[in-house]
Amino acid sequence: MLTAVLAVAESAGLFRAVGGAAIGITCIYFLFRAASLTVRSSSITNLYQIALIWIPGVLAICLALTGLYLVTSTEPMTLAYLLGVILFGCELVMLTIAAADLEGVVNAPITPVETA
């Protein structure tokens, strides 16, 4: 919804400010959860499990920033702009999901992240 409103507004400055803030908040939330989980379970996790904690969120941050860059650096309603909007919206959701998934694990008793 936020992405749709920002896209319709067609203001690069507004998108940069609000979109950037949204990524920033979600990003901090994810990084805090991921770091917390990594530290809490450092003795019982392996490299694969650490990758499973970090890679989805880090990739989502990178792609969301790419989407934001596309939106703010191109003319409204061009293909690159629309691609940026979709990328920004989807990756913000993916980042939130990645962080929310970690929250459940962080609040649970210390057990290894079950992967396989």
Q: Give the footprint of other proteins on this chain (CB under 8 A).
A: 48, 51-52, 55-56, 59-60, 63, 79-80, 83, 86-87, 90, 94, 97-98, 101, 115-116
Nearer to other proteins, 1 or 114 (CB): 114
Q: Are 91 and 60 in contact (CB under 8 A)?
A: yes
Nearer to other proteins, 19 or 56 (CB): 56
The nearest distance, CB 68 to other proteins, in angstroms, is: 14
Q: DSSP letter at 113?
A: -
For residues 73 and 75, give the distance between their C-alpha atoms in angstroms, rounded to a whole number: 7
The nearest distance, CB 20 to other proteins, in angstroms, is: 20
Nearer to other proteins, 17 or 51 (CB): 51
Nearer to other proteins, 6 or 99 (CB): 99
The nearest distance, CB 91 to other proteins, in angstroms, is: 8
- What is 69-99 written as a DSSP string? HHHHHS-TTSHHHHHHHHHHHHHHHHHHHHH
Residue found by looking up tokens 């379970």 in the block:
41
Structure tokens at 114: 């079950």
Q: Are 102 and 53 in contact (CB under 8 A)?
A: yes
The nearest distance, CB 1 to other proteins, in angstroms, is: 19
